[in-house]
Amino acid sequence: MEKPTNRVFSGVQPTGNLHLGNYLGAIRNFVGLQDTHECLYCVVDMHAITVWQDPKELTANTREVAAAYIASGINPETHIIFNQSKVTAHAELAWILNCVARIGWLNRMTQFKDKAGKDREKASVGLYAYPVLMAADILAYRATHVPVGEDQKQHLELARDTAQKFNNDFEAEDFFPLPEPLIMGAATRVMSLRDGTKKMSKSDPSAYSRITLSDNADEIAQKIRKARTDPEPLPEVKDGLAERPEAANLVNIYAALSDTTTEQVLKEFGGKMFSEFKPALADLAVDKLSPITGEMKHLLADPAYIDGELEKGAERARAIADPVLKRVKEIVGFI
């Protein structure tokens, strides 16, 4: 069985409120990798249901992520987009890997602790096993590279440990490659616009904490205008952002949207007040995001097209994952 050397896999959960963090930390980087890698981009609906999802909303949100992929510039003809539940290899491999990964590893996962909150006994078993399903997503394609935001680093380490343990336990040498995280760009961890110490998230109760991919130009500009800042001018050098999380966040967002670096943004705006910087950032954000949000609306008006692309993608994904799963079953000793 041929071993891929440049296969990318990544996923986004269809849990609604797709935001600037998802775009800058992940989706935008997915687009660039198409030139150099063979890419699979998944809408991870099975991960979404680890916390309660209204079925109708789940369907709509699945189409929304697919539309965001295509509108951002992922080409569903030359690469693969699909939703996870259509390719049964993910669930089957996840079970086998559940028997490889250790409880101690899962107990260390900070995302589970954050999402389960205080009442951990009431969290679903799926939420606990979430990282193992994520390992299965990646390893079902023997993917070599995984573009993600910084918050997924620990999950990627678990995927690598699981791959390594499988290879060792079954003396399967390097059957599974150890997938490399690709954490790229100036905004690998976009923070809330209301609190620079908290990650921008889909579940924050305040809509003003995030810019979403369904916001129109006015909403984007208004959210940036209202973003929390401090009364000081922007510093000339990066060190000056150290104790200023809100300022650092907006500068990093500007750098990522304009494809430059934090240093370059400070060269241009160092010494200027937020009253000058915020309108520039709002213009830039509207300029970069409106074509995408506009195209998403257009695509979402034709759900049959999106469903068709997901179905075609799933068929091509199965053609890669099924032989890998077949080989895994042989390695494990299933007849």
Strands (E), the chain: 7-12, 38-43, 80-83, 145-147, 180-182
Amino acid at 229: T
Count of residues that interact with ligand TYM, criterion CB under 6 A:
25
Structure tokens at 45: 């609906």
Q: Which of 66, 94, 139, 146 binds ligand TYM (CB under 6 A)?
A: 146
Answer yes or no whether residue 199 interacts with ligand TYM by CB under 6 A: yes
Nearer to ligand TYM, 12 or 100 (CB): 12
Q: Which of 196, 197, 220 is nearest to 207 (CA)?
A: 220
For residue 113, indicate whether it is catalytic.
no
Nearer to ligand TYM, 72 or 152 (CB): 152
For residue 326, indicate whether it is catalytic.
no
For residue 312, indicate whether it is catalytic.
no
Least Cβ distance, residue 151 to ligand TYM (angstroms): 5
| Rounded distance between C-alpha atoms, residue 122 and residue 149, angstroms | 28
- Find the catalytic residue in 86, 165, 202, 312: 202
Answer yes or no whether residue 138 interacts with ligand TYM by CB under 6 A: yes
Q: Which of 96, 134, 221, 328 binds ligand TYM (CB under 6 A)?
A: 134
Residues 6+ apart with CB under 8 A from 84: 11, 42, 43, 44, 45, 46, 47, 90, 137
Answer yes or no whether residue 185 interacts with ligand TYM by CB under 6 A: no
| Rounded distance between C-alpha atoms, residue 29 and residue 39, angstroms | 11
Answer yes or no whether residue 16 interacts with ligand TYM by CB under 6 A: no
- In Å, how far from its chain's centre is CA 157? 16
Least Cβ distance, residue 107 to ligand TYM (angstroms): 18
Please give the positions annotated as active site: 115, 199, 202
